[in-house]
Structure 1
Amino acid sequence: MRTLIYLGLVLSILCSCKNEQHSTTTLKAGVSEEMAMYRSSQISDVHYNLSFNIPAELKETIPSQLLLNFNVEQLQEPVILDFKEETSKIKSISINGKNATILHKKEHIILPKEHLITGKNTVTIAFIAGELSLNRNEDYLYTLLVPDRARTLFPCFDQPNIKARYTLNITAPKDWQVLCGTKEINSTSKGDYIEYKFDTSDQMSTYLFSFVAGKFKSVSKKPDNMEMSMLYRETDTTKIEYSLDSIFDLHQQSLSFLEDYTSYPFPFQKMDYAAIPGFQYGGMEHVGAIQYRESSLFLDEGATANKKLSRAKLIAHETSHMWFGDLVTMNWFNDVWMKEVFANFMADKIMNPAFPNIDHQLAFMITHYPNAYGEDRTLGTNPIRQKLDNLNNAGSLYGSIIYNKAPIMMRQLETVLGKEAFKEGIQEYIETFAFKNAEWGELIEILDKKSSTDIIAWSSIWVNNSSRPIFNDEITYDDNDKITSFTLTQTAEDSSEHAWSQAFDILFIYPDSSKTLSVQMTDATYQIKEAIGLPKPISIVYNSNAEGYGVFPLQEKDLDLIPTLDNQVARGYSYINIYENMLNGTINPSAAIQLFSKGLNTEKNELLINLISRYTTSVFWKYLTEEQRAF
């Protein structure tokens, strides 16, 4: 079907080209999935030779040239390049040594098949670099091309599953530094400018191509067996002296862990980075040339442990992307969440042990659960893995489900498989798809072979469907108040037939003791046999380890006990569960705010105080009547 759609698209283009009137209706702006999937089978062995001549003056344009080599596997249709710029910026096109008419419509350059051959083709395009994603300042610039913005800079096949090699030449003012994903071969002085020539890169997707140029300071260090370099503009000497060694050491710590965990050596030619003032994100995982927000890296002696942990995890996150995203890349941006959840997952593994005084389970819970629930309880919620028809719409994929529910899912997946089986599966995945593209389902097939659990079915519920489970309990006692049965049931909040397979703890509270029961929920109903014969507890705290996902049973009579719980994770999740139960109508808002008020008066943990404060504000202004607020 995709091929037929694409055939119709290009036939229309051909017909219109003969009449010197190009289609404006069938050729879509952006990069459609249909075109991308067809093009990935049509094109191979892509090599971009790019030259950018950067002027000293910000107001001047950047003359550029592309020498593009690629193989055409079959020549039934024209080849379509992506270039989201004005046609006037395309100065000339040569196809296999012959000048060609510029055919540029709906953000695409059309290369007619009569100018192409089966096998290797060479296209030369002189153009003015687009500046939508070329972040230019008076004395520095940097590219940021994720998710589909490479086509705003230069003509390309702007989709993740056409990986290519890059050879870059940059001419820049002589007092500028230049950094890209490969090592410099040589530089030549040309008056007030220097021409830098770089080696050919490893294969990468277009969104990972980058360069940084400008007035930067440069430092190189070799914390282990690989030298790394960093560009930066920070001027605070105290921060520089305090931070530089730590920045390099944290990168090396991350590299060493990942090489061991994945059983795959660092996959690229170098590992450099640039600290950029006002960078849009915390970091971006460009191959061999990671970009960071400068303020995230440079700290001073007064930095708190949480700030240091945040920096450490940012570095571990971006380093993890070298394997998860850069080496193995999603086939299409509907799986963009994969690289993000793996980078966060690995960052936790790498850096949490280095900060033993921080309650990482509590921080994970407060970071992810309220936000995931806030999205997943709504009618507009979406699955972790979504459909994407055009890369123009890739921005719609980012949100609380990807960044907050997906990490919860990943922890459950590791629990279901066991840590060793999960690790072995990841190693096989990396080895199988190195320098290639993969879909989530292909990883799941690998993991499924390593578990007695049906991981494919498990993934379908967690990843391909939205909503969350609502749990209910039924407990019976004998005449001596001993438990005779304990049944836990789950139903999907959206009334579907889904049953989430997941593990979590239940805490029984007694007057002078407590007991933890582990639940391995695999179906809609679960009999907790371990509870049979136990005395009746004064209270039950569900999901006391904050590993499970859903809304758990809660009774108003137990609320006063929550602030007295010694375990701050159990205490914190109980506050979250109270709020969710209140929204579902099982807890009265006035009872909830009384508890939150009590918690604020007794709580010592800063993270929990902030959590309770948010809930108190929400309940007070949204769910209490004017009379209740006055009282």
Structure 2
Amino acid sequence: MNTSSTTASLRDGTPFISEYQASERARVISNVDYQLTFFLSEQSQFRAISTVNFELNGTAKNLTLDLNQANIISMIVNGSKIYPKYNGSYITLSPSLLQSGQNTIAIEFTREHSTNGEGLHRFVDPVDGKVYLYSHFEPAAAQQMFALFDQPDLKASFQLNVHAPKDWQVISAMRESSISAQGNDNVWVFPASPKLSPYNFSLHAGPYHMWQDNSGPYPMRLFSRQSVTEQVTPQDWFTYTKQGLYFFDRYFGIPYPFKKYDQVLVPDFLYGAMENAAAITFSEDRFLFNAKMTASQKERLAGVIMHEMAHQWFGDLVTMKWWNGLWLNESFAAFMGTLATAEATEFTHAWRTFYASGKQRAYELDSLVTTHPIEVPVATTQNAFDNIDAITYQKGASTLNQLSHLLGKETFRQGVKQYLTEFSYQNAQLDDFIGSLAKASNRDLSQWTQEWLYKAGVNSIKAEYTCANGMISDFQLVQRAVSDEFPTLREQKVKIGLFYQRQHGVEEHQTAVVTYKGARTNVSELVGAYCPDLVYPNLDDWGFVKVDLDQRSMNTAKQALNKVHDPLLRSMLWQSMWDSVLDGQAPLNDFINVALINAPLEQDYTILGQVISNLLRAKEMLDLMAPANKQYADKVSRALSQMSLRMTMEHHKNSDFQRRWFSAYVSLSTQSDPLKHLQQLLTGTTKVKGLVLDQDLRWDIIRQLNRFDYGNAYALLQREKMTDTSDSGEKAALAAEVIRPQAHLKRQWLNTIEHSQAMPFSKLRVAMFNLYPAEQNLLSAATAEQRLANLIELDKKGPVFMRSYTQALIPRACSIDNITMIDQVLNTETGLSKLTRRALLETRQNEYRCINIKQLVKPQ
């Protein structure tokens, strides 16, 4: 007997399973199918019967069946009724009850519904009291709803029967085959699904409103709560969905693998959306609005629809074997979602949006001490989401994008098609995907795989060139590792652009496509060109690499930014100026001064959003630095709010631009004059031409007034709370109350966040992110030690809670004292989870960065 492997296969009593334990289970289990019957009602508890059919191949010691926090009524194994060996996380199956070949286990149980967004989540609509249920299983929460082998490589078919109230809809991976009355309920019967990983199966039930559209290649349905139907624009959803289905059918060369396409808007959702097979869930918080959708909101909707649709092939049809492969699912969906949005919808600039938002977050994370390779081991299901971040999504997507440039777009597409065809309804690994691309391109990709997927860190490139007699005499691309700790230099293909200042703008004169690698690459084709005013070495954003502008190019960018006609290049130049602040190469003042001159001239909606976002970050940094530079911070605040109001008024004929500028005005209003103006707008004593204050904007203003406790802000909050009793209204009111600058209130809410058992997690999360805005640094300091001291205990609440808590409530103060406190925790609390420890390390590094930026600020 191998005692070490026997010990390793023993589980620890928690719901989590290790990769080794899962592989051992998959070694002896095959041909799984589930017959599931649910008895659903408006009550807080549900009853279910979970029948598991499977083949056992060989002996099965320590075999477990996952079922989380259930009250088991009966258990029958191969016809024999038994008393289960159950610890609240899983059932240990006695080998004597199992047989080689076919086995059947039937378990009847009851369980409380979840309220944290996992398992079978229950939500009571505050408007009309109606109850809505939806499931969320990723990474391993199906066990919170039924008994199963909860791991991705044990794919199974799911046959479903649901008893539910007669006014309810029931939605799952398949369309129901029958609905029949039985007493006060309807019984919904669903045929067996194709083979799916458990986390891709789903069940949603409640009195959902339904829209239908059969004009596309597959029948489409959209569902929402009844009380929010006026906020849904079904035509937009169906238009983008139809465009995506046509696009992906063509791109993959494989028809959509499921028979119908359902999308469900759900409350309290943990993420943006989830790719359940043929029954995709979307977060209400991100996709329901109280006014006509803005251009950016529509683009986000289209992009997320495309992202989840890409998963139907890449993730659902072909699924990773274990959670270390989750990055490939998400990277591919992020890449394909952006590609489809750009090529199949009106948002042809989607790659620019990708560059300005998610890709920048990936660059930032990849520059931190906590960066990680794209492909990393995942020890247990508890760690499945430890590294699910912008490196997983946007760096991975960028890596795939530059690989498609390196191999050629059609070759890349053929490789993807081969992969999906070969592994349909199966599980696959990274080598399978890379092997398909290597075969299609007839190229060895092992070195590329090592450099890009198994090595961490980001590189930068810089153009180094000399000119003689007005001509380039020498031109090199210089690559370096941003961090000495992650020294890998990589190969990729980029386009270099040379630009010249002319009377009517900054114009492109010459480009060169270069595949570079190593520290220096000669670019001989540019020798002899006219000496440029600006060089951009990653034109059109093919590569995943930070651009370090040479000094001549940086000067041109600052002087002639509004004369750069190419919007992607202009976006990149804006980003280079912001990066120079973050990297400590230029004072924050420089960026703010350039923005005050150029932001009002910006006519591109996407770039304007990028610039405003960075200005808000600049303002947050200045607030964290207080009381240092207070006089300058007040001056900046006044200038930015005045600029935002002026542009709000100027754009009265363009609602998208006006709303973008007005939202900035609300966020940048921190002094008495603009706050007084906001209060007057809210009460209707003054107006801005063209601006309609919908419910979302009203709450934004109320939150800002309460943030600074201006005037009768609290009374306005109470009045609005009575007017808007919706779920989104409750959360907005909560945000406005929590953000008020009162010490006793902060302590009360911190206690609620850390100890409440009753408040839904979705509301606790709102409280977390509104408790300590940057300018309330003294109030934050008052509880900073307590929050750090409580981390070890809070860690026991698990990754869902801690992902939000660590983002929102690890203290930030832009000070050495705060760094010392964080160091103390890191050095003494050795039992912290990987997730929490990583958050502390990142906060500490960002504190050092903030201090460096503070030292460079020039009082003005």
CA-to-aligned-CA distance 1:555-584 (integer Å, 9 cap, x gap): 445433112433232222123233434444
1:319 paired residue number:
309
**Bigger mean CA offset, 39-48 vs 275-284:** 275-284
Alignment of 1:526-605 (within 5 A): 526-562=521-557, 563=561, 564-587=563-586, 591=590, 594-600=593-599, 602-605=601-604
Q: What amino acid maps onto 1:198 in structure 2?
A: F
Q: What amino acid maps onto 1:230 in structure 2?
A: L
Q: What amino acid maps onto 2:386 in structure 1?
A: S
Q: Percent identity?
A: 27
Q: Is the 8 A contact 1:473 1:488 kept in 2?
A: yes
Question: Could you say what secondary structure the match of 2:181 adopts?
Answer: strand
1:451 paired residue number:
441
Q: Distance in 1 between matches of 2:389 and 2:243?
A: 30
Q: CA deviation at 1:433?
A: 0.7
2:805 paired residue number:
none
**Bigger mean CA offset, 198-207 vs 136-145:** 136-145
1:491 paired residue number:
480
Q: CA deviation at 1:130?
A: 4.9
2:28 paired residue number:
42
Alignment of 1:95-494 (within 5 A): 95-105=77-87, 107-132=89-114, 133-138=119-124, 139-235=131-227, 243-294=233-284, 302-356=292-346, 359-451=349-441, 453-478=443-468, 480-494=469-483
Aligned partner of 2:52 among 63, 68, 72: 68
Q: CA deviation at 1:203?
A: 0.8
CA-to-aligned-CA distance 1:35-66 (integer Å, 9 cap, x gap): 1111111100111111111134x24x322111
Q: Is the 8 A contact 2:334 2:393 kept in 1?
A: no
- Compared with structure 1, are the counterparts of its residues 380 and 115 closer, same or farther at alpha carbon in structure 2 (3 Å cutoff)? same
- Compared with structure 1, are the counterparts of its residues 367 and 225 closer, same or farther at alpha carbon in structure 2 (3 Å cutoff)? closer
Q: Distance in 2 between matches of 1:155 and 1:614?
A: 48
Q: CA deviation at 1:291?
A: 1.9
Q: Distance in 1 between matches of 2:287 and 2:297?
A: 10
Q: CA deviation at 1:32?
A: 0.9
Q: What amino acid maps onto 1:424 in structure 2?
A: Q
Which structure has the highest helix share of the two?
Answer: 2
Q: What amino acid maps onto 1:630 in structure 2?
A: P
Q: CA deviation at 1:391?
A: 0.5
2:709 paired residue number:
none
- Compared with structure 1, are the counterparts of its residues 556 and 309 closer, same or farther at alpha carbon in structure 2 (3 Å cutoff)? same
* Structure 2 residue runs without a partner (length 5+): 125-130, 626-849
1:21 paired residue number:
none
1:8 paired residue number:
7
Aligned partner of 1:52 among 38, 48, 57: 38
- Compared with structure 1, are the counterparts of its residues 300 and 312 closer, same or farther at alpha carbon in structure 2 (3 Å cutoff)? farther
1:630 and 2:859 matched: yes
TM-score by length of 2: 0.66
CA-to-aligned-CA distance 1:483-538 (integer Å, 9 cap, x gap): 33222232323334522112223222334353323222133331101111223223
TM-score by length of 1: 0.89
Q: Distance in 1 between matches of 2:501 and 2:221?
A: 60
- Compared with structure 1, are the counterparts of its residues 490 and 237 closer, same or farther at alpha carbon in structure 2 (3 Å cutoff)? closer
How many residue pairs get aligned? The number is 610
Q: Distance in 1 between matches of 2:599 and 2:445?
A: 42
Q: Distance in 1 between matches of 2:461 and 2:856?
A: 33
- Compared with structure 1, are the counterparts of its residues 114 and 9 closer, same or farther at alpha carbon in structure 2 (3 Å cutoff)? farther
Q: Is the 8 A contact 2:457 2:488 kept in 1?
A: no
Q: Distance in 1 between matches of 2:194 and 2:16?
A: 26
Q: Is the 8 A contact 1:5 1:34 kept in 2?
A: no
- Compared with structure 1, are the counterparts of its residues 471 and 273 closer, same or farther at alpha carbon in structure 2 (3 Å cutoff)? closer
Question: Could you say what secondary structure the match of 2:222 adopts?
Answer: strand
Q: Distance in 2 between matches of 1:612 and 1:174?
A: 51
Q: Is the 8 A contact 2:28 2:60 kept in 1?
A: no
Q: What amino acid maps onto 2:479 in structure 1?
A: Q
- Compared with structure 1, are the counterparts of its residues 536 and 487 closer, same or farther at alpha carbon in structure 2 (3 Å cutoff)? same
Q: Distance in 1 between matches of 2:621 and 2:470?
A: 37
CA-to-aligned-CA distance 1:463-493 (integer Å, 9 cap, x gap): 2211111334443445x34333222232323
Q: What amino acid maps onto 1:72 in structure 2?
A: L
Q: Distance in 2 between matches of 1:331 and 1:176?
A: 36
Q: Distance in 2 between matches of 1:299 and 1:353?
A: 26
- Compared with structure 1, are the counterparts of its residues 505 and 65 closer, same or farther at alpha carbon in structure 2 (3 Å cutoff)? same
Q: Is the 8 A contact 2:500 2:508 kept in 1?
A: yes
1:525 paired residue number:
520
* RMSD, matched Cα: 2.8
Q: Distance in 2 between matches of 1:277 and 1:80?
A: 33
**Bigger mean CA offset, 334-343 vs 412-421:** 334-343
Q: CA deviation at 1:29?
A: 4.4
Q: Is the 8 A contact 2:161 2:190 kept in 1?
A: yes
